[in-house]
Structure 1
Amino acid sequence: MTSVDSPSDSPSNSRSRISVVIADDQRMVRAGLRMVIETEPDMQVIGEAGDGVDAVALTRRLRPDVVLMDIAMPRQDGLTATRALLAAPSPPRVIVLTTFDTDDNLYEALRAGASGFLLKVSSPEHLITAIRVVAAGEALLDPAVTTRVIASYAGTPGPQPPPELAELTPRETDVLRLMARGRSNGEIAAALTVGEATVKTHVARVLMKLALRDRVQAVVYAYESGLIRPGQ
């Protein structure tokens, strides 16, 4: 089931606001997410989808800034929908909605390029923060959960590290290791005794050299390459 806001509230008329599409097969969940989001003057929900097929079609038509994507949906699951959306040119930012304990596909969603995830029990404040963070081009990393998920599903890396790792300077490698542990820029700056602006520069260079889109993909890469191992 798909619904769209009226033309007067379309993205073309409200470009200053963050546009959001909600994809979840539970109508009450969608209604609750919409209610929270639309209390914010800088956000608007421009559409809802009840399955992955509708989510992909609606997103391609409306071109929202952010998609909230449930994993377990009929017709097409959220993982397949996320892959389809992020493989296209100029994709939206995708936040995966998860219960964590039961969503084994979360790691694959992160590998596909999702900008992060939200637990369905997250607070409204966390939801709003997450949307703003990913809409600004950043990734949402919850060190208490994300790194555990990646460590659990990354598997055993190959015997040789990828050659592109050699392109990183020792300091950039340190920054990547700390990112993989879920550290924020401020925490990385404190650990390395440098300024946050310097950390931001290092992060940007790491992403560029490794051809990664954001911090989530950097964390996945660090585990898959063997740069950091589960439990470190």
Structure 2
Amino acid sequence: MRTEQCVRVVVLAADVLSCAGLTRYLESLAEVTLLEPDRRAEADVVLFAPECLSPGTFAALRRESRAGKPIVLVANDVSEADLLVAVECGVRAILSRAMATGDRLRQSVVATAARGGLLPPDLLGEVLHHVNYLQNDVLSPKGLNAAGLKSREIDVVRLMAEGLDTAEIASELSYSERTVKNMIYRFTSRLQLRSRPHAVAYALRAGVI
């Protein structure tokens, strides 16, 4: 565990202006040492500021998390589904761009370096709600993974992502169309997904397809 006197931070931002602004804030903090991106193997914390939250963003977050680096995420418009996936990807602190002042950056970076975390109260409530939902309503039945999908449901979503319609999915998996429709209805209802595109986006962000 690092002390507050020397938290080594790497800033990964999607654009030059965001990088410059975050770097300027961090340079003013006595307990932070900034490292260049090519030295992030030495970092205690990765400060990640994507242009938007997308499947590509979550893939990048997973790569950083696999390297063992706790992440502070600076982003706007974090949805309920985005939030859960971000936490699964190793994000320990989330700040909106509008709230990313020097003091809040300091709190987030120091807490994350100490293996803690920091979420706005409204987002924290959503995390707790979803953890409870996953534990009690999703993960308890047998056969479900951390994304809340059974293996055959993942097969269906994967084919949906490839553009197949219900009849084509049924033919590919040797199911009846009625079975496919019922499966899609059950998992979209269970996971509170609004539509088929939403289900595909959820599965992509969860890394199961």
TM bracket (short chain): 0.5 to 0.7
The answer as to whether partners of 2:52 and 2:75 remain within 8 angstroms in 1 is: no
User: Is residue 2:85 matched to residue 1:108?
Assistant: yes
Greater fraction helix: 2
The CA RMSD over aligned residues, in Å, is 3.4
**Following the alignment from structure 1 to structure 2, what is the Cα–Cα distance between the partners of residues 159 and 138?**
25
**Following the alignment from structure 1 to structure 2, what is the Cα–Cα distance between the partners of residues 161 and 147?**
24
User: Is residue 2:130 matched to residue 1:141?
Assistant: no
Please give the secondary structure, in 1, of the residue aligned with 2:98.
Answer: coil
After TM superposition, give the deviation of residue 159 of structure 1 in Å.
Answer: 7.8
CA distance 1:102–1:112, shift in 2 (3 Å): closer
Please give the secondary structure, in 2, of the residue aligned with 1:44.
Answer: strand
CA distance 1:149–1:72, shift in 2 (3 Å): farther
After TM superposition, give the deviation of residue 101 of structure 1 in Å.
Answer: 4.7
The number of aligned residues is: 136
Give the structure 1 partner of residue 62 of structure 2: 83
> Which 5+ residue runs of structure 2 have no aligned equivalent?
143-190, 192-209
User: Is residue 2:140 matched to residue 1:160?
Assistant: yes
Aligned partner (choices 41, 54, 61) of residue 30 of structure 2: 41
CA distance 1:116–1:161, shift in 2 (3 Å): farther
The answer as to whether partners of 2:27 and 2:33 remain within 8 angstroms in 1 is: yes
Give the structure 1 partner of residue 146 of structure 2: none
Give the structure 2 partner of residue 32 of structure 1: 21
Give the structure 2 partner of residue 168 of structure 1: none
Give the structure 1 partner of residue 8 of structure 2: 19
| Matching residue's letter, 1:158 | V
Please give the secondary structure, in 2, of the residue aligned with 1:144.
Answer: helix
| Structure exhibiting the larger radius of gyration computed from Cα positions | 2
After TM superposition, give the deviation of residue 126 of structure 1 in Å.
Answer: 0.7
After TM superposition, give the deviation of residue 85 of structure 1 in Å.
Answer: 2.0
The answer as to whether partners of 1:98 and 1:106 remain within 8 angstroms in 2 is: no
Give the structure 2 partner of residue 120 of structure 1: 97
Please give the secondary structure, in 2, of the residue aligned with 1:105.
Answer: helix
Identity of aligned residues (%): 19
**Following the alignment from structure 1 to structure 2, what is the Cα–Cα distance between the partners of residues 159 and 99?**
29
Please give the secondary structure, in 1, of the residue aligned with 2:117.
Answer: coil
